[in-house]
């Protein structure tokens, strides 16, 4: 009888020890969970740019120095740059591909982004404006067919300084009409005068923001263009697409 009582007391002691150990582990897990910061509910937007040398960089320029990369840094986007220098909606440049072909090769096979920004027209100035507008319209339709949930934005031609020629203004108007027809927001750097004056004449902001080639932006110019774009994106409520 006495032996059975001792065995019961021993078993009870072991059970109490195990229970206490389990309780300590649960308390430790709870305290650790309380100390661990909660993950942010928001997700980093994925944005694709498709464009010419302003967007991807001129010969010898690093892509991360362009206005597109700077825009992504300012807004905290995850950015994918597509396109190539000297190309456009029709212009194929030295690579032999226009924006539609570059979209297929570089972007279309990727998962759907939150926003697609198409920027160009500068290199199409030797083509009829109505043809450029039709090509822009076709490209936007292609993007929408590929990613029906992605938002779209069209940016008109940029000009490095001085008065843009009439053919560039006509291309800008054709692009604006294509954007209106497809109900895509359109940003007009020429109308908004992102770059002003003439570098050679030392007028406006061109001497500070445009390189000696008279076309491409300096590092400060790319940052300035990005700031102008961010201001427009805020008005369009597209900073967090």
Name 27's Cβ contacts closer than 8 Å, sequence gap at least 6: none
What are the tokens at 197? 């004056």
Examine the pLDDT at 173 and tell me if it is beyond 70: yes
Identify the pLDDT of residue 161.
75
What are the tokens at 50? 């498709």
How many other C-beta atoms are found inside a 10 Å radius of the C-beta of residue 34? 7
Q: What whole-number distance in Å separates Cα of residue 205 and Cα of residue 207?
A: 6
pLDDT digits (tens, 9 = 90+) for 182-207: 999 999 999 999 999 988 888 999 99
Strand ranges inside 93-170, DSSP E: 115-119, 151-155
Q: Is 105 left (phi over 0), alpha (psi -120 to 50) or beta?
A: alpha
Task: For residue 225, give the nearest of 160, 151, 148 by alpha carbon.
Answer: 160
Q: What whole-number distance in Å separates Cα of residue 136 and Cα of residue 118?
A: 9
pLDDT digits (tens, 9 = 90+) for 9-53: 344 443 334 344 344 445 444 454 445 444 455 789 999 999 999
Please indicate, yes or no, whether the overall pTM of this predicted structure exceeds 0.85.
Answer: no
% of the chain beyond a pLDDT of 90? 73
Per the listing, tokens 């406006």 go with 204
Q: For the chain, give the mean pLDDT.
A: 86
């Amino acid at each position: 009888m006495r032996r059975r009582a001792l065995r019961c007391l021993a078993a009870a002691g072991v059970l109490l020890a195990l229970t206490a150990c389990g309780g300590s582990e649960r308390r430790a897990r709870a305290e650790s969970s309380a100390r661990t910061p909660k993950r942010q509910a928001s997700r980093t937007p994925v944005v694709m740019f498709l464009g010419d040398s302003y967007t991807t960089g001129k010969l010898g320029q690093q892509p991360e120095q362009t206005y597109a990369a700077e825009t992504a840094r300012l807004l905290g986007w995850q950015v994918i740059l597509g396109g190539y220098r000297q190309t456009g909606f029709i212009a194929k440049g030295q690579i032999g591909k226009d924006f539609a072909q570059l979209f297929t090769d570089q972007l279309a096979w990727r998962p759907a982004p939150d926003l697609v920004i198409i920027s160009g027209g500068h290199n199409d100035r030797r083509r009829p404006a109505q043809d450029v507008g039709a090509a822009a319209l076709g490209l936007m339709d292609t993007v929408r067919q590929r990613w029906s949930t992605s938002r779209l934005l069209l940016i008109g031609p940029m000009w490095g300084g001085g008065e843009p020629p009439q053919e560039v203004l006509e291309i800008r108007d054709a692009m604006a009409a294509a954007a209106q027809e497809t109900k895509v927001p359109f940003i007009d750097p020429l109308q908004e005068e992102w770059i002003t004056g003439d570098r050679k004449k030392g007028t406006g902001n061109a001497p500070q923001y445009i390189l000696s080639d008279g076309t491409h932006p300096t590092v400060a110019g790319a940052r300035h263009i990005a700031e102008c774009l961010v201001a427009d994106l805020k008005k369009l409520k597209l900073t967090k697409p």
